[in-house]
Protein backbone atom coordinates (compact mmCIF):
# COMPACT_ATOMS: atom_id res chain seq x y z
CA UNK A 1 0.00 0.00 0.00
CA UNK A 2 1.51 3.37 -0.96
CA UNK A 3 1.42 6.45 1.27
CA UNK A 4 -1.63 7.94 -0.47
CA UNK A 5 -3.63 4.74 0.11
CA UNK A 6 -2.42 4.44 3.71
CA UNK A 7 -3.49 8.03 4.37
CA UNK A 8 -6.92 7.37 2.87
CA UNK A 9 -7.25 4.18 4.93
CA UNK A 10 -6.30 6.00 8.15
CA UNK A 11 -8.82 8.80 7.51
CA UNK A 12 -11.55 6.20 6.95
CA UNK A 13 -10.71 4.58 10.31
CA UNK A 14 -10.74 7.98 12.01
CA UNK A 15 -14.18 8.80 10.59
CA UNK A 16 -15.51 5.46 11.84
CA UNK A 17 -14.12 6.21 15.33
CA UNK A 18 -15.49 9.74 15.42
CA UNK A 19 -16.75 11.10 18.75
CA UNK A 20 -18.59 14.41 18.49
CA UNK A 21 -18.97 14.79 22.26
CA UNK A 22 -15.18 14.62 22.81
CA UNK A 23 -14.58 16.99 19.90
CA UNK A 24 -17.09 19.53 21.28
CA UNK A 25 -15.63 19.26 24.78
CA UNK A 26 -12.13 20.00 23.42
CA UNK A 27 -13.43 23.05 21.57
CA UNK A 28 -14.99 24.33 24.78
CA UNK A 29 -11.64 23.91 26.56
CA UNK A 30 -9.93 26.03 23.90
CA UNK A 31 -8.28 23.18 21.96
CA UNK A 32 -8.93 24.50 18.49
CA UNK A 33 -8.32 22.37 15.40
CA UNK A 34 -9.30 22.86 11.78
CA UNK A 35 -10.65 19.31 11.92
CA UNK A 36 -11.04 17.18 15.05
CA UNK A 37 -12.75 13.77 14.91
CA UNK A 38 -12.69 13.53 18.72
CA UNK A 39 -11.03 10.09 18.56
CA UNK A 40 -9.72 9.07 21.98
CA UNK A 41 -6.00 8.41 22.48
CA UNK A 42 -6.16 4.61 23.06
CA UNK A 43 -7.98 4.24 19.72
CA UNK A 44 -5.42 6.48 17.95
CA UNK A 45 -2.63 4.28 19.37
CA UNK A 46 -4.36 1.11 18.17
CA UNK A 47 -4.67 2.60 14.65
CA UNK A 48 -0.93 3.47 14.74
CA UNK A 49 -0.05 -0.07 15.86
CA UNK A 50 -1.36 -1.45 12.54
CA UNK A 51 1.30 0.43 10.54
CA UNK A 52 5.07 0.16 10.30
CA UNK A 53 6.93 3.33 11.26
CA UNK A 54 7.43 5.28 8.06
CA UNK A 55 9.03 8.66 7.41
CA UNK A 56 6.93 9.36 4.31
CA UNK A 57 3.65 8.40 6.00
CA UNK A 58 4.44 10.42 9.13
CA UNK A 59 5.35 13.50 7.07
CA UNK A 60 2.13 13.17 5.05
CA UNK A 61 0.09 12.82 8.26
CA UNK A 62 1.75 15.85 9.85
CA UNK A 63 0.86 18.01 6.83
CA UNK A 64 -2.83 17.22 7.33
CA UNK A 65 -4.48 19.89 9.45
CA UNK A 66 -6.34 17.22 11.45
CA UNK A 67 -5.83 16.58 15.17
CA UNK A 68 -5.64 12.79 14.94
CA UNK A 69 -3.27 12.87 11.94
CA UNK A 70 -0.83 15.10 13.86
CA UNK A 71 -0.88 12.68 16.82
CA UNK A 72 -0.39 9.67 14.52
CA UNK A 73 2.53 11.42 12.81
CA UNK A 74 4.42 11.60 16.12
CA UNK A 75 3.74 7.91 16.76
CA UNK A 76 4.79 6.73 13.28
CA UNK A 77 7.85 8.91 12.60
CA UNK A 78 11.14 6.90 12.73
CA UNK A 79 13.87 8.57 14.81
CA UNK A 80 16.74 7.99 12.37
CA UNK A 81 15.23 10.04 9.53
CA UNK A 82 13.89 12.85 11.71
CA UNK A 83 16.68 15.36 11.24
CA UNK A 84 17.02 18.53 13.39
CA UNK A 85 15.79 20.80 10.59
CA UNK A 86 12.60 18.70 10.28
CA UNK A 87 12.09 18.93 14.06
CA UNK A 88 12.23 22.73 13.74
CA UNK A 89 9.65 22.67 10.93
CA UNK A 90 7.31 20.51 13.03
CA UNK A 91 7.67 22.55 16.21
CA UNK A 92 6.93 25.79 14.32
CA UNK A 93 3.68 24.18 13.16
CA UNK A 94 2.42 23.30 16.68
CA UNK A 95 -0.54 25.46 17.63
CA UNK A 96 -1.95 24.00 20.84
CA UNK A 97 -0.92 22.33 24.08
CA UNK A 98 -2.30 18.85 23.33
CA UNK A 99 -0.14 18.42 20.21
CA UNK A 100 2.82 19.97 22.05
CA UNK A 101 2.56 17.50 24.94
CA UNK A 102 1.93 14.41 22.81
CA UNK A 103 4.64 15.15 20.23
CA UNK A 104 7.20 15.78 23.00
CA UNK A 105 6.22 12.51 24.68
CA UNK A 106 5.96 10.32 21.57
CA UNK A 107 8.81 11.73 19.51
CA UNK A 108 10.89 14.71 20.62
CA UNK A 109 12.18 13.23 23.89
CA UNK A 110 13.56 10.19 22.02
CA UNK A 111 15.67 12.14 19.52
CA UNK A 112 19.44 11.74 19.90
CA UNK A 113 19.84 15.52 19.68
CA UNK A 114 16.92 16.26 22.07
CA UNK A 115 19.04 17.84 24.87
CA UNK A 116 20.61 20.46 22.57
CA UNK A 117 17.35 21.01 20.69
CA UNK A 118 15.35 21.58 23.88
CA UNK A 119 17.71 24.44 24.87
CA UNK A 120 17.47 25.86 21.37
CA UNK A 121 13.65 25.88 21.61
CA UNK A 122 13.63 27.29 25.15
CA UNK A 123 15.59 30.30 23.87
CA UNK A 124 12.89 31.00 21.25
CA UNK A 125 10.32 33.65 22.12
CA UNK A 126 7.40 31.97 20.33
CA UNK A 127 4.94 30.44 22.78
CA UNK A 128 4.63 26.85 21.62
CA UNK A 129 8.28 26.48 20.57
CA UNK A 130 9.34 27.56 24.07
CA UNK A 131 6.68 25.30 25.60
CA UNK A 132 8.01 22.31 23.61
CA UNK A 133 11.53 23.14 24.78
CA UNK A 134 10.56 22.96 28.45
CA UNK A 135 8.30 19.91 27.95
CA UNK A 136 11.13 18.05 26.18
CA UNK A 137 13.60 19.04 28.92
CA UNK A 138 11.14 17.81 31.57
CA UNK A 139 10.79 14.47 29.76
CA UNK A 140 14.58 14.11 29.52
CA UNK A 141 14.92 14.82 33.23
CA UNK A 142 12.33 12.10 33.95
CA UNK A 143 14.39 9.63 31.88
CA UNK A 144 17.95 10.60 32.74
CA UNK A 145 17.48 12.68 35.84
CA UNK A 146 20.88 14.30 35.92
CA UNK A 147 22.58 16.87 33.73
CA UNK A 148 25.93 18.64 33.80
CA UNK A 149 26.23 21.66 36.11
CA UNK A 150 26.38 24.33 33.40
CA UNK A 151 23.30 23.26 31.38
CA UNK A 152 21.43 22.61 34.65
CA UNK A 153 22.12 26.17 35.78
CA UNK A 154 21.06 27.51 32.39
CA UNK A 155 17.85 25.46 32.41
CA UNK A 156 16.90 26.69 35.89
CA UNK A 157 17.64 30.33 35.01
CA UNK A 158 15.55 30.09 31.83
CA UNK A 159 12.73 28.23 33.60
CA UNK A 160 12.52 30.72 36.49
CA UNK A 161 12.56 33.59 33.99
CA UNK A 162 9.74 31.90 31.98
CA UNK A 163 7.62 31.39 35.11
CA UNK A 164 7.91 35.11 35.82
CA UNK A 165 7.19 36.39 32.33
CA UNK A 166 5.95 33.59 30.07
CA UNK A 167 2.45 32.84 28.81
CA UNK A 168 0.23 30.34 30.64
CA UNK A 169 1.49 27.26 28.75
CA UNK A 170 5.16 28.33 28.82
CA UNK A 171 4.88 28.96 32.57
CA UNK A 172 3.34 25.55 33.25
CA UNK A 173 5.93 23.75 31.10
CA UNK A 174 8.77 25.64 32.84
CA UNK A 175 7.37 24.72 36.28
CA UNK A 176 7.14 21.08 35.21
CA UNK A 177 10.83 21.14 34.19
CA UNK A 178 11.79 22.68 37.57
CA UNK A 179 9.73 20.02 39.40
CA UNK A 180 11.33 17.15 37.46
CA UNK A 181 14.77 18.60 38.16
CA UNK A 182 14.02 18.76 41.90
CA UNK A 183 12.70 15.20 41.98
CA UNK A 184 16.04 13.79 40.87
CA UNK A 185 17.92 14.33 44.15
CA UNK A 186 17.96 16.22 47.44
CA UNK A 187 20.90 18.22 46.11
CA UNK A 188 18.81 19.40 43.13
CA UNK A 189 15.87 20.23 45.38
CA UNK A 190 18.15 22.24 47.70
CA UNK A 191 19.65 24.09 44.72
CA UNK A 192 16.18 25.21 43.55
CA UNK A 193 15.17 26.18 47.10
CA UNK A 194 18.17 28.51 47.28
CA UNK A 195 17.15 30.15 43.99
CA UNK A 196 13.60 30.93 45.14
CA UNK A 197 14.09 31.57 48.88
CA UNK A 198 13.70 35.33 48.48
CA UNK A 199 10.36 35.02 46.67
CA UNK A 200 8.13 34.10 49.62
CA UNK A 201 7.05 37.70 50.29
CA UNK A 202 7.37 38.93 46.72
CA UNK A 203 4.73 41.31 45.38
CA UNK A 204 4.80 39.44 42.08
CA UNK A 205 2.14 36.74 41.83
CA UNK A 206 4.29 34.55 39.56
CA UNK A 207 7.14 34.51 42.10
CA UNK A 208 4.75 33.63 44.95
CA UNK A 209 3.35 30.80 42.80
CA UNK A 210 6.85 29.49 42.04
CA UNK A 211 7.81 29.63 45.71
CA UNK A 212 4.62 27.75 46.69
CA UNK A 213 5.24 25.07 44.03
CA UNK A 214 8.83 24.52 45.27
CA UNK A 215 7.63 24.37 48.89
CA UNK A 216 4.92 21.82 47.97
CA UNK A 217 7.49 19.71 46.13
CA UNK A 218 9.79 19.71 49.19
CA UNK A 219 6.92 18.73 51.51
CA UNK A 220 5.67 15.87 49.32
Instruction: Tell me the DSSP string of the chain.
Output: --HHHHHHHHHHHHHHT--HHHHHHHHHTT---SB-----HHHHHHHHHTS---HHHHHHHHHS-BHHHHHHHHHH--STT--HHHHHHHHHT--SHHHHHHHHHHTGGGSTTHHHHHHHHHT--SHHHHHHHHHHHHHHHHHH----HHHHHHHHHHHHHHHHHS-HHHHHHHHHHHHHHHHH-HHHHHHHHHHHGGGTT-S-HHHHHHHHHHHHHHH-
Distance of CA 25 to the CA centre of its chain: 21
Chosen CATH of 97-220 out of 3.40.50.620, 3.40.50.300, 1.25.10.10, 1.10.630.10: 1.25.10.10
Q: What is the pLDDT of residue 69?
A: 98
Question: Is the distance from CB of 210 to CB of 193 less than 8 angstroms?
Answer: no
CATH 1.25.10.10 segments of the chain: 97-220
Q: What is the pLDDT of residue 146?
A: 63
Q: What is the pLDDT of residue 135?
A: 98
Each residue's pLDDT, cut to its tens digit, for the chain (220 residues) gives 799 999 999 999 999 999 999 999 998 988 889 999 999 999 999 999 999 999 999 999 999 999 999 999 999 999 999 999 999 999 999 999 999 999 999 999 999 999 999 999 999 999 999 999 999 999 999 987 666 667 888 999 999 999 988 799 999 999 999 999 999 888 889 999 998 988 888 888 888 999 999 998 888 7
Amino acid sequence: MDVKEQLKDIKTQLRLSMNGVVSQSMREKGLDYKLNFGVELPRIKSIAAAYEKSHDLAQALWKENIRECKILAGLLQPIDTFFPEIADIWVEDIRNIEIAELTCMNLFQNLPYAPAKSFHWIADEREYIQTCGFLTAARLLMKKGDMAQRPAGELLDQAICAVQSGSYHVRNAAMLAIRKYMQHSEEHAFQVCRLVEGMENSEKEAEQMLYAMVKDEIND
